[in-house]
Structure 1
Amino acid sequence: MVYEKNWVQAWLGFGLVWFFGAIALAPSNKIYQQGLVVFLWLPALLLAWPARRVLVEAWRRQPALWGSVLLLMAWGGVSLAWTPAEDLAREAKRLLYIFVFLLAFPLLAQAGGDRIRNLLQIGSGLLAIAALISIIHFYGLQAQPLVARLAGIGEISHPILGAYVIGAAALLLLYQMPRRRLFQLGWMLALACLGAFVILSQSRGASLALLVTMVLAPVWLRDRHSRILAMGAVLATALAFFVMYNLITARGASFRPEIFEQVLKMIGEHPWTGLGLGAAYNVKVASVGMQFDHTHNMFTHVAVELGLPGMLLWIFVWLFALGEIIRARHTLLGKILLGLWVYSTMAMQFDAASLTATPRAEWFVSWLPVGLVMLLPWVRAENDACGKISGST
């Protein structure tokens, strides 16, 4: 089959690595988007017919997940009938981008679980390099004071969203320690760069999401490595509070309760239809005399745009993804994705508020976890086959 050929898998694999590393390392966002089209979207579309059996099998193995995704896409398309967005074709095209992005993952799964984990390691390693460059550029070349919030390079320049991307990369590396000593050194340096980025960004949401995930991880990983990391995370957090207490508490709750109160009123004005896909809006908080360009919460953002039906459909997507992860909890990738799911769920409560826009930082805590979950049926089957072979010898 053409989709099983090495050059095809290399093409798709490079696309996944590009998705990770180029978000920070590409010269511009335009080049990042164009690279995704060439390296991920295009091969997925070209292979859709030759690999139709794989895609049918993907639907057969995860009907609830794929069905909820398609229903969400369909509802978003219907909302174009009332959205005030100026370019309806662009909004519809973004839905297509999401769908094609997800189609790529069952095709990537044909390369095998080991190769997928290697690709995730390479992509996360590139983000570690981007984190190091960001730190040197911001505090070295720009001579910013250490108390300033780190702004990264490329599309991780936003302190909060950039920290979410880097935190996701850290989790994908954290529980995959290489066996060789030389590689272990590189692994530790990469994690040090990623962790330093999150701390220096002063993103309390990303830090809390990482802390909660690492503390809970021993529940499903059940190994000494995860317990040591959990204790280290608690100690590091205590040290951070001791050293950076004033910086951590200076911004208070960042008006999140006031924003949430106003957003509930906005949802109540259009509970069933929302404003429509791609609608621009501002959250005006009169009590503090400020306005914000989104809800600072993924679920309420979807409710504002697509109404309560859209929010419920996104919740279904997210919960069905969790169900698939739990089914694969005996595999290493399943365990890693459970951590990423917990982390992403936490992250979506604090800021990430862009679900249907072009690929950007928010995709690392929304569509990337969903896409990776779509690999799991093949990873699970591969793991079960290996178990039967080892059990019969």
Structure 2
Amino acid sequence: MFNKSNERIDSLLLGWLSIGLFFQLAGILFNNDGSRYATQLYLLLFVPALLLVLKERIALVRSHQWAAYLFVALAAWVLLVGGAHPGSEKTVWHWFKVVGLLCLYLYAVAWLTRQPQRFAWVLGAAVVVAAAFAWLSLYYQFGVLERSLDYDVLRQQRIEKMGWNGLADLQHPIIAGLYYSVFAILLTWLFVHWRMTTGRAILLALAMLGLIVYVLFTFSRGAWIALGAGGVALLLLTANRKAFSLLVVGGILLVAGAYLFWPEIQLERARGVTGRELIWAAWFERLDSFWLWGAGAGVDFIFTFPQGHYLGGGDFFHSHSLYLQFWYQYGVLGIGLFIALMLSLLWKAWLCREQPLARLGGGLLVFAMVAMVSDIYAIFHRPSPYWVVLWLPVGILLGVQRPKRPASND
């Protein structure tokens, strides 16, 4: 009787978490009110995650994996810097809340990976919503509002929202490009792992077309490069016939696109890194003042472009590289722990590459690591699209079970 009751509780919590994860992934698109989105996450994701933690007594933390230990060490360092560093922004309770919610999120994602079929359906439902909103945004912007498809106009008016009733408003083209790129990788994973019929393949191709066109029209070149890197990593980890076919088709499309849009590609290349080199140079000039202990949790890296530059007069508040920004805020130990966490998760993805979810986590993590070179300003903060970009693959890989070593014959 006790075992049956325990199974019913587990089933209830897993169903509750599944709904919560779906809202966390896709709710950004169909909520035009940030407070409503936050309320949904608290009720549908964080509450059941907390109940599961209390029930299971933090079993995942005791799973004896380096990645889990490194994340705990990183979270502890963030709390220490947030509470003890005199330069840190906000109070220590703010950082406890942020780290606590993040731990619950990772725990929820990791636990759901123990039910791969259920988890895949949650991801699939989120992909359907994302692809639908990508197409709706393109239709509304270019069909209803009749925006021009001329390159110069597209480049100046980069897409970042649907434009109707506040829905699917990501508030910045870079964020929009990164967010929708995640779903393009998820869709690729579904294609190479699910059994395909002709009708299903056509639907997936249409969904992918909408996602890719949307990402292209954000003109977030960091998202373009990261999406290519993450997609290739996923396909190489998968290494089946469909994966190799996609690599060939993708290569052909890339060559054809380069031929057709060579003048536009040259214009993009001429833009360089759009002033980031000056911000990065200023970061290195100030390195002596923060390299050891950092400047404090949540502190802005303020840079003003010199007069005469095409961005002159504008103030920027982060270093336009997550790695540099994290070092600036948390010092050499903080960035060291963060990089060690990323490498340990990549290694785990490689060791567990026979498992479909490990391949997905590896591809998404490569995407995030490349994107963080030039984009993403913070990862320890309230729930946002950046949680989908980085912490989703971290949670997946924390939850994946490493293959057991064969028993010794001795």
When normalised by structure 2's length, the TM-score is 0.85
Q: Are 1:128 and 1:190, in contact at CA under 8 Å, matched by a contact in 2?
A: yes
What is the correspondence of 1:83-94 to structure 2 with a 5 Å cutoff? 83-94=87-98
Q: Are 1:16 and 1:123, in contact at CA under 8 Å, matched by a contact in 2?
A: no
1:297 aligns with 2:314: no
CA distance in 1, matches of 2:179, 2:376: 11
Residue from 113, 118, 139 that aligns with 1:109: 113
Following superposition, the deviation at residue 306 of structure 1 comes to 0.8
Unaligned runs of 5+ in 1: 385-393
CA distance in 2, matches of 1:309, 1:189: 45
1:187 aligns with 2:204: yes
1:360 match = 384
Q: Which amino acid aligns with 1:76?
A: V
Q: Are 1:44 and 1:103, in contact at CA under 8 Å, matched by a contact in 2?
A: yes
1:151 aligns with 2:175: no
CA distance in 2, matches of 1:258, 1:62: 43
Residue from 179, 185, 198 that aligns with 1:165: 179
Residue from 246, 249, 263 that aligns with 1:229: 246
CA deviation map 1:265-291 (0-9, x unaligned): 333311122121122331334484453
1:388 match = none
CA distance in 2, matches of 1:130, 1:47: 32
1:251 match = 271
CA distance in 2, matches of 1:323, 1:245: 35
CA distance in 2, matches of 1:83, 1:327: 41
What is the correspondence of 1:250-329 to structure 2 with a 5 Å cutoff? 251-286=271-306, 288=309, 289=312, 290-329=314-353
CA distance in 2, matches of 1:74, 1:152: 36
Which deviates more, 139-148 or 274-283?
A: 139-148
2:3 match = none
1:142 match = 145
Which deviates more, 237-246 or 184-193?
A: 237-246
Q: Are 2:180 and 2:215, in contact at CA under 8 Å, matched by a contact in 1?
A: yes
Following superposition, the deviation at residue 22 of structure 1 comes to 0.8
Higher helix share: 1
Q: Secondary structure at the match of 1:229?
A: helix
CA deviation map 1:227-260 (0-9, x unaligned): 2222332333334443233553353321122221
CA distance in 2, matches of 1:325, 1:215: 14
Q: Are 1:348 and 1:365, in contact at CA under 8 Å, matched by a contact in 2?
A: no
Residue from 7, 10, 26 that aligns with 2:12: 7
Q: Which amino acid aligns with 1:129?
A: A
Q: Which amino acid aligns with 1:151?
A: E
Q: Which amino acid aligns with 2:229?
A: V
Overall identity of the aligned pairs, in %: 23
Which deviates more, 70-79 or 281-290?
A: 281-290
CA distance in 2, matches of 1:3, 1:196: 44
Q: Secondary structure at the match of 1:126?
A: helix
Unaligned runs of 5+ in 2: 1-5, 163-167, 406-410
Q: Which amino acid aligns with 1:30?
A: S
1:74 match = 76
CA distance in 1, matches of 2:45, 2:266: 44
1:128 match = 131
Following superposition, the deviation at residue 312 of structure 1 comes to 0.8
CA distance in 2, matches of 1:255, 1:11: 45
Q: Aligned in 2, Cα 1:330/1:84: closer, same or farther, shift over 3 Å?
A: closer
CA distance in 2, matches of 1:7, 1:68: 31
Q: Aligned in 2, Cα 1:47/1:219: closer, same or farther, shift over 3 Å?
A: closer
Q: Are 1:267 and 1:274, in contact at CA under 8 Å, matched by a contact in 2?
A: no
Following superposition, the deviation at residue 108 of structure 1 comes to 1.7
Q: Aligned in 2, Cα 1:327/1:150: closer, same or farther, shift over 3 Å?
A: same
CA deviation map 1:47-71 (0-9, x unaligned): 212122xx32x23434321221111
1:100 aligns with 2:117: no
